[in-house]
A and B are shown apart, each in its own frame.
Chain A
Amino acid sequence: MNRALLLHTWRAQRTKLAIVSIALAAWGFLLAVVYARFGSRFTALMQTGILPEQFARFGGGDVFSLAGTIALGLIHPIAIMLTSVFAVGFSATAVAGERQPGTLEVALARPLSRRVLYLSLLAASFGFIAISIAALLAGSVSGATFAGVVEELPFRNLPLLWLNSVLLFGALAAIALAASVSFDRLTPALGVTLGIVIAMYVPEVLGSLWPAAEGLQPYSLFHYLKVKAILGGFVALSDVAVLSSAILIAMVWALVVFPRRDLAAPS
């Protein structure tokens, strides 16, 4: 990895990182408060049978327990969009977005191999994701403390949840960066990545709401982040292995393809 490139990337993204982290922390805070204030009412409402049972398990999350609320917070489209600012946005534009205007060739005119460039950007992306997820969890802890339900929070399992979440969004970032090094232009890199993320997100949510679609869930990376189970102290190694494998495959692809590609002239 290249220190100068890492520092430059950090400086360029720090304002965005601060905004995303604050937003995620606020989101985590809000959900914990919502659970504390309205959780029992939601439970009562569900027990009346007015709402379909599937609404109580959207993406593996719910608002009937703090763990379920945190799960909902992580899988909810708002959290996905905010975390995707780095997992998808930054990663997909990191190479293709610099290749198109020509700043990439100014950097690569230095003694910097493409592999080092890629690994530095991947490390930066993982760092941003790690901070974003930590902010979300910190917001949840603060919200739970504020709302007086912090005793329901299994603190010792939070690092595992953080790690698993970083692995999930890190896998998306690795895919995005692999797309970024594979295309000359930003639009296809971003399009392919967004397509993959949506194609994974929809089956997971659909499977959680509609039992007939449950068979699709294993094809989604989101399926391998089981928040409630982790907060309950159970971490499936197979989930970690799947997410790690996705990262590894994307990395191998990028490390093989990127150095062999011709860098198109800027447009």
Chain B
Amino acid sequence: MHAIETVGLTKYYGHRSGLVASLVKRLRTSASPPVRALESLDIAVREGEVFGFLGPNGSGKSTTIRLLLGFLHPTAGRGRVFGLDTVRDSVAIRRRIGYLPSGIALYDTLTGEQLLDYLGELSGRPASRRAELCQRLELSARTLKRLVRDYSRGMRQKVGIVQALQHDPELAILDEPTEGLDPLMQRAFYEILDTLKAEGRTIFFSSHVLSEVERVCDRVAIVREGRLVALEETVGLLARRKRNVLMRFTGPPPRLDTVSGITNVEHGDGFLTCRVEGSVRPFLAAIADAAVVDLTIEPARLEEAFLEFYDEAATT
């Protein structure tokens, strides 16, 4: 069984059907057309994996999450979490998950401790991880005694992470979880994710910070304008993307035009640049006889692969 499974999941905002649609049509001469937020999304998140959900603002990430949580009703298709239907069994689903919304809103008039107590009680499960999470995120007992309205953005985000995970959910849905965290706290958060993963918890991780997706995710789905444009292993995605090469040499330049996986070859005075896709072996073989003075292969970044996917999706 998958932790999350969506089949043809579609959401149009402003979509009306049946009697309401016909009434609106009669009453309004210039009814605005429905806005597509998500179109026929098919994904399956395995239990125990960290699944990255990537896309720029407005691509449909938060809509997908809100559909999974039952906050929105799908226009078409269906979603399942642990085999439970997101519309019919929404409460049962939420009993098993922890959710961190993007830019979380907290009750400002409560102290951090009161807030965590209240949300823990609503969860209906003991806050068995709270102490460990607070310790890792450096949320002291003194800090938790302060009113939430006095917290900085980073502190709020830490409390948000604790409230999402304190009851040890089977599935954590985290929307932009490192927003507002400093690098040290980001690292602490990644370690928390490592622990959860080691314990077999599933993490659905939405972000547009590609470096962190690269750091923590097993698989990545990329959405663009409400459509899934890629879904694959992070390792595979990293291996597929192109790398930028800068080589300095003396003597005649190596012949690279016909080498597989090499594009954008440009020569200069004693240097050349090109892009390498896939294995670097053919490239290394091609420059084996050249008098190489210096060679720089830029570390592969997911960001470039991401942008390439967008370029490809945009041109198709």
For window 195-245 of chain A, which residues contact chain B by CB distance below 8 Å?
none
Q: Which residues of B contact A111 (CB under 8 A)?
A: 91-92, 94-95, 122-124
Q: How far is the CA of A107 from the CA of B122 in the complex (A)?
A: 7
Q: How far is the CA of A105 from the CA of B106 in the complex (A)?
A: 10
Instruction: Judge whether B71 and A105 touch: CB under 8 Å.
Output: yes
For window 1-45 of chain A, which residues contact chain B by CB distance below 8 Å?
2, 4-5, 8, 12
Q: Cβ of A101 < 8 Å from any Cβ of B? A: yes
Instruction: Judge whether A101 and B122 touch: CB under 8 Å.
Output: no
Q: What does DSSP make chain A's interface, helix, strand, loop or mixed?
A: loop
Q: Give the residue of B72, B92, B107, B118 whose beta carbon is less than 8 angstroms from that of A263.
A: B72
Q: Which residues of B contact A101 (CB under 8 A)?
A: 105
Q: How far is the CA of A137 from the CA of B196 in the complex (A)?
A: 57
What per-residue 1/0 map shows which CB atoms of A96-123 lie under 8 Å from chain B? 0000011101111111110000000000
Q: How far is the CB of B35 from chain A (nearest CB, A)?
A: 12
Number of B residues, CB within 8 Å of A: 29
Q: Which residues of A contact B119 (CB under 8 A)?
A: 106-107, 110
Q: Cβ of B128 < 8 Å from any Cβ of A? A: no
Q: Cβ of A265 < 8 Å from any Cβ of B? A: yes
Q: Which residue of B lies closest to A4 (CB)?
A: B121
Instruction: Judge whether B118 and A265 touch: CB under 8 Å.
Output: no
Number of A residues, CB within 8 Å of B: 22
Q: Which residues of B contact A260 (CB under 8 A)?
A: 73
Asked if A262 meets B94 with Cβ closer than 8 Å, knowing A101-B105, A110-B122, the reply is no
Q: Flag the segment in B96-104, B201-209, B233-241 that touches A.
A: B96-104
Q: Which residue of B lies closest to A12 (CB)?
A: B109
Instruction: Judge whether B122 and A112 touch: CB under 8 Å.
Output: yes
For window 69-117 of chain B, which residues contact chain A by CB distance below 8 Å?
69, 71-73, 90-92, 94-95, 97-99, 101, 103-107, 109
Q: Give the residue of A4, A113, A262 whose beta carbon is less than 8 angstroms from that of B118.
A: A4
Residue of A101, A107, A109 ringed by the most chain B CB atoms within 10 A: A109
For window 46-69 of chain B, which residues contact chain A by CB distance below 8 Å?
62, 66, 69
Q: How far is the CA of A159 from the CA of B107 in the complex (A)?
A: 37
A-B contacts, 7 of them at CB < 8 A, read: A102-B105, A103-B107, A106-B104, A106-B119, A108-B71, A111-B95, A262-B73
Binding site for B on A (CB under 8 A): 2, 4-5, 8, 12, 101-103, 105-113, 260, 262-263, 265-266
Binding site for A on B (CB under 8 A): 13, 62, 66, 69, 71-73, 90-92, 94-95, 97-99, 101, 103-107, 109, 118-119, 121-124, 163
Further pairs besides A106-B101, A106-B104: 12, Cβ < 8 Å: A2-B122, A4-B118, A12-B107, A102-B105, A103-B105, A105-B66, A108-B94, A109-B99, A111-B94, A111-B124, A262-B13, A263-B71
